[in-house]
Amino acid sequence: MNIDIRQAVKNNLNNSSFEDVKSTIVDAINIREEKVLPGLGALFEIYWNSVGEDERNHIVQTITSNIS
């Protein structure tokens, strides 16, 4: 069985409100289960593809500063 996680995430959140999307992200982070990481990755990809180079650099700097 081959699942397109990107499309599944988009379909699940299609027509969702701001609060629905926020709740989905917060819940996924709070449950700390490995199985939600691909979905969060798909959301991150959507965000990454929607911002410019300055914001991408800011994201990378923030992540870099908080990994250690």
Q: What is the pTM of this model?
A: 0.85
Q: Which pair of structure tokens corresponds to residue 60?
A: 């990378």
Residue 1 has pLDDT above 70, yes or no: no
What pLDDT is attached to residue 11? 95
Residue 3 has pLDDT above 90, yes or no: no
Q: What is the mean pLDDT of residues 6-29?
A: 96
Residue 2 has pLDDT above 90, yes or no: no
Sequence-separated (6 or more) residues with CB below 8 Å from residue 51: 59
Asked if residue 28 lies in contact with residue 40, where contact means CB atoms within 8 angstroms, the answer is: yes
Measure CA 57 to chain center: 17
Write the burial class of residue 41 (CB in 10 Å: 0-12 exposed, 13-18 middle, 19+ buried): middle
Q: Using one digit for the tens of pLDDT, what is the confidence trace for 33-57?
A: 999 999 999 999 999 999 999 999 9
Q: Which pair of structure tokens corresponds to residue 38?
A: 């691909």
Q: Which pair of structure tokens corresponds to residue 11?
A: 């379909």
